[in-house]
Amino acid sequence: EMVEKSVIAYGGVQMGLLERGLSWIGLFIALAPMLGFMGTVIGMIQAFDIIELKGEAKPDELAGGIKVALITTVSGLIVAIILQIFYNYIVSKIDSLVNQMEDASISLIDVLVKHKLGK
């Protein structure tokens, strides 16, 4: 029983070590679209500033601000999507390693129990 508790505790420590950087990736996944949206707002403000200054604006005068809005939105989404893919890949690898560790620990405990019963 003591060995089983030790194996479980060690597995928990190792899982924590495997997951230690995931919170940062999750943070950047959340921030990327927000930064893209902030750029969208800034681009639209630029476009409306032109309208405010001139009273009436031609499409080519507004295009710069709208372009900034669209580029920042797309950039934020691309970054978030790529990071999400990597995040899911890393989580699946960690889950696989944890399953292997659990299988190995169960096998170890079985061997120890059989050895103890054999004495």
pTM of the model: 0.75
78-88: per-residue pLDDT in tens?
Answer: 999 999 999 99
- The answer to whether 69 touches 58, Cβ cutoff 8 Å, is no
Q: What is the mean pLDDT of residues 49-61?
A: 88
Q: DSSP character for 1?
A: -
Segment 3-42, tens digit of pLDDT: 777 877 888 888 888 888 898 999 999 999 999 999 999 9
- Measured between alpha carbons, how far is 5 from 49 in angstroms, rounded to an integer? 66
Nearest to 76 by CA among 115, 44, 117, 28: 28
